[in-house]
A and B are shown apart, each in its own frame.
Chain A
Amino acid sequence: MTQENKLIIPDRLRSPLEQRLKSWESLLMLVAITIFVANSFASPYFLNAWNLSDATFNFTEKAMIAFAMALLIISGEIDLSVASIIALASTAMGAAAQVGIGTEGLILVGLTVGLMCGATNGVLVTRFGLPSIVVTIGTMSLFRGISFIILGDQAYRGYPQDFAYFGQGYLWWVISFEFILFIILAIVYGIILHMTNFGRAVYAIGNNPTGALFSGIRVNRVKFILFLLTGLMSGVAAICLTSRLGSTRPSIAFGWELEIVTMVVLGGVNILGGSGSIPGVLIAAFVMGLVTFGLGLLNVPGIVMSIVIGALLISVIALPRLWSVWRT
């Protein structure tokens, strides 16, 4: 009798609303709102449209890459070379600007270099069947290494005047070009992942690559496209970042791969592949941006913020597991 009482047989599924409220995304949203409210009490400078607009710059570029990275991680691969692709693309744009190529040309150069780097990773992973983590640790050194060979301790400056628009321009009032681009990309990637065959294939590959192959999904081709997309987004981020900084050094965007992976994992993407969502990554981008900005206003040094981000990364994964260990 007691045995039976312990068994809870659900007579109906949880309602869609309940499911949505208990999801990772709504938990994150709650965190985001809490941080927002806490910040607005902690600093009088927080609730200022221009300050908030400035604050978006410290996550928009990373988030652009994080969207593509989310797809890649869901498919069971990873790309640690993204920050190095930014460095190489930025160096190439710098070199092109030196010989007098105009803004349109520079964009083409940035995107092409990004695509080529992504293709290199993709070929090594899909054609040679190598583990992506090693390949991209290798190309991470290689791509940034090429920037170091070209630039050494020098820097490229002297970008055309109108090139500055991508990182510094505003479309309307405090709404920057970068922020709009970030929103558009979030929507595009959300549609790709959640509403297309391609997106379903990404999930299928992450959950069971062999099963996906037998279901007629061209696994290697999908993975190759994902590496291309990640490379392309790194190229886009390189354009925005270079335009915003107005100069290129080989150490540009150093260590970003860590923050981008953190953003993706914080967004609820399973690092082992198979699950995750774009809205999650989008909210995670805001959470990280708000934390960084809020602590910055309180004069907390950057390295302490990195402790917070590191601890966030571990605890976000550890807490649900601790919870389930504690419950059983």
Chain B
Amino acid sequence: MRRLIASREALLLLAIAIVLGIIASRFPAFITPTNLASVFNDTSPLILLAIGQMIVILTKCIDLSVAANLALTGMVVSLVNIAIPDMPIIFTMLIAISFGTVLGMFNGVLVWKLDIPPIVVTLGTMTIFRGIIFLLTEGKWVNSHEMSDKFKAFPRADILGMPVLSWIAIIVVILFMIVMSRTKLGRAFYAAGGNPHAATYAGINVGRTQFWAFTISGALAGLTGYLWVSRFAVAYVDVAAGFELTVVAACVIGGVSIMGGIGTVHGALLGALFLGIIANALPVVNISPFWQMAISGSAIIIAVVLNAQANRVKGRIILKRAEQAT
């Protein structure tokens, strides 16, 4: 119980509650269930990407190409949609996920087989992916009227009072909660990042684990690519430009340690929700949206400072125990 209260996720939940409380005291309409559901729906793409990013960061890597992957996959499915307008949505989803997966695997192979630092790989692929969109389209946009109705309607379709987009986010969150805690691969992500040497001796191939992390991140980015493009009904080169940093921010705020090995799915979820609530609340409380960038920047810095403090205390306790044992 004590551990639960002291945990980063609980603190973050408290911070979210306080923010909501402050907003509600002046604008009660903000915390009506309908509005909160729409905030969740708005944040869904960020949640999906943050989960993929969290897994990559767990293995001591970073994936800066997620937003570019999203944009490229979004463009590819839009072009496919123009070519075959009445293809069933399930195939569109499959194309999006597998295309994103391939892009993720490309990052993964470079990190695994050639041992190139992940930040360099993904900085490079980030520009390459966006460049490919330009080559595919010569910079033209795919607009709403060019997309088929089915293509656009899917993420908004209503199931039990919530749009499909929200449901997908919920399903992915649950799926990865299970994967991360109940499967070999899930535990391998923690082991590979927490202590790569020990993981190697335990029979875990660290490079391959990192490869799978990038693959999952790519698959989720691809899925989000379709959802994003169909929700906003437009695809162009600069879709979600700079979003990769928001995704990293969501992870860091959610208590994922950039040094690897520490982080949870619900942490990433809460980190994403925190940013989502702030982004949605700013116009409501009448603060210019230009404040958002500075606020998320400050949130990242405060979050890492707090995380570092928390980790330091944990280190001391282990030492004391060791002393007692001897």
Contact = CB atoms under 8 A, between A and B. Distances in A.
Interface SS of A by simple majority: helix
Given A142-B301, A145-B293, A133 B62 contact: yes
A141 B124 contact: no
A102 interface: no
A315 to B, nearest CB: 9
Contact of A149 (B123, B134, B294, B300): B294
B258 A131 contact: yes
Given A145-B292, A271-B117, A313-B124, A303 B297 contact: no
Interface string B195-226: 00000000000000000000000000000000
A141 B300 contact: yes
Interface string B241-258: 000010011001000001
A322 interface: yes
Contacts, number: 136
Interface string B286-313: 0010111111111011001100100000
B131 A307 contact: yes
A177 B170 CA distance: 58
Given A138-B297, A141-B245, A310 B288 contact: no
Contact of B119 (A130, A144, A271, A306): A271
B293 A321 contact: no
B116 A314 contact: yes
Contacts of B116: 314, 317-318, 321
B212 to A, nearest CB: 21
A128 interface: yes
Contacts of B295: 145
A108 to B, nearest CB: 24
A134 B131 contact: no
A138 B123 CA distance: 17
Contacts of B298: 138, 142
B115 interface: yes
A131 B130 contact: no
B139 A272 contact: no
Interface string B52-89: 00000000001000000000000000000000000000
B65 to A, nearest CB: 10
B132 interface: yes
Given A130-B304, A258-B123, A304 B131 contact: yes
Interface residues of B, number: 44
B285 to A, nearest CB: 15
A138 B304 contact: yes
B11 interface: no
B120 interface: yes
Contacts of B128: 307, 310-311, 314
Contacts of A140: 245, 297
Interface string A243-261: 0000000100000001001
Contact of A137 (B288, B300, B305): B300
B294 A310 contact: no
B293 A314 contact: no
B38 interface: no
Interface of A: 78, 124, 128-131, 133-135, 137-146, 148-149, 152-153, 250, 258, 261-262, 265, 271-272, 301, 303-304, 306-307, 309-311, 313-314, 317-318, 321-322, 325
25 contacts: A124-B305, A131-B258, A131-B304, A133-B258, A134-B258, A134-B300, A138-B252, A138-B304, A140-B297, A142-B297, A145-B290, A145-B293, A145-B295, A146-B294, A152-B288, A258-B123, A258-B127, A271-B120, A306-B127, A306-B131, A307-B132, A313-B120, A314-B110, A317-B116, A317-B120
List of 8 A-B pairs having minimum Cβ-Cβ separation, nearest first? A145-B294, A141-B297, A142-B297, A307-B131, A145-B293, A310-B127, A138-B300, A314-B124
